[in-house]
Amino acid sequence: MNDFIVRAVALALVDVPRANSQWDSSQGEIVPCPSVDISIAVATDKGLITPIVKDADKKSLTQISAEVRAMPAQFCACICVLNLLLCMLDAVS
């Protein structure tokens, strides 16, 4: 199920590029990110980690699933998508 969410968010970020951006304090403006990298939060016994699926928009669901499964076993606990929150924040503002 999480793989579907990662894929859906990646495609949404392509459709709404402003949601895939960051604040550049040196320029004082919002700058678009050059790629769609999805960070997923994973709870482990040792704390929260955030592995990244790089270029998620260019990967198929099968590729995303394989990449997430290839992450070390302790990462496969509780996955949620951090960029989803960013998309919601951008939609509100």
Q: What is the pLDDT of residue 23?
A: 92
Q: What is the pLDDT of residue 77?
A: 42
Q: What is the pLDDT of residue 67?
A: 86
Pairing of strands 29-32, 21-24: antiparallel
* Angstrom distance (rounded) from CA 69 to CA 92: 33
Structural domain count, the chain: 1
Q: What's the domain range around 54? A: 2-92
Residue type, 67: E
Asked if 19 and 73 touch (Cβ cutoff 8 Å), the reply is: no
* Angstrom distance (rounded) from CA 25 to CA 41: 25
Which of 11-15, 29-33, 65-69 is predicted least confidently? 65-69
CATH number at residue 60: 3.30.559.10
Asked if 67 and 53 touch (Cβ cutoff 8 Å), the reply is: yes
Write the pLDDT tens digit of every residue in 42-69. 777 777 778 889 999 999 999 998 888 7
Q: What is the pLDDT of residue 72?
A: 63
